[in-house]
Amino acid sequence: MKKLISPQVAASLITDGSRIMVGGFGLVGSPLTLIHSLFLSGVKDLEIISNNLGEPGRGLGVLVRNKRVKKGIGSYFTSNPDVVKAYQMGELDIELIPQGTLSEAIRAGGAGLGGFYTPVGVGTLIASGKEEKVIENKRYILQPSLKADFALIKAHKADTQGNLVYTKSARNFNPNMATAAKIVIAEVDEIVEVGELSPEEIVTPHLFVDYVVKKEVEMP
């Protein structure tokens, strides 16, 4: 299967109502080219799992501002005032998950686990509706794992087979997301031939990656 596709073809694979994991911490490690193509495609009613929903008019913030996102699942949404406004107006559903719990829920989804017990959030609104259990005299809540239809991730380099290498903090949620979705689309800065990447630097093996897109949109 040919893995290298255009951003437009990548966006065309995603349909209304899809659940999508999107890498990034702020805009760092965020697949901006794929997000821009998703915006141009007109797809709507998306459920997005991401640390945050971009910034005003930037990254995932473009989709929020144009009312394309139905629900956001993540940790830090207040960095984008458009998200707060959309939530207050009833246009956007939000599920808050502590950042470490979010990362582990994605990892658990990729590992085939149904969920895990965590003490984080016990006694708060985050625990509402969740099973609670006492283990060794300590209270825990059950956090279900997270999976998605698509994962849009960002890496630094890929070879033509789809092996991925990341850079510093831009790595963030991306490797975990690559394991937890049915279809994984990786946006990369550079594409090299097979054999040019050291096996020791490869973080995401090609078996997890369905498609690769070359970056076109720079961070604003």
The structure's pTM equals 0.94
- Of the pLDDT bands very low, low, confident and very high (cuts 50, 70, 90), residue 220 is low
Q: Contact 216/187 with Cβ under 8 angstroms?
A: no
Cβ 178 vs Cβ 153: under 8 Å: yes
Average pLDDT for 67-90: 95
Domains and CATH numbers, the chain: 7-113+144-214 (3.40.1080.10)
Q: C-alpha 17: how far from its chain's center? A: 16
Locate the DSSP E strands across 80-147.
Answer: 93-96, 115-118, 132-135, 138-144
In this prediction, residues 152-177 reach a mean pLDDT of 97
* Percent of the chain scoring above 90 in pLDDT: 95
State pLDDT tens for residues 136-156. 999 999 999 999 999 999 999
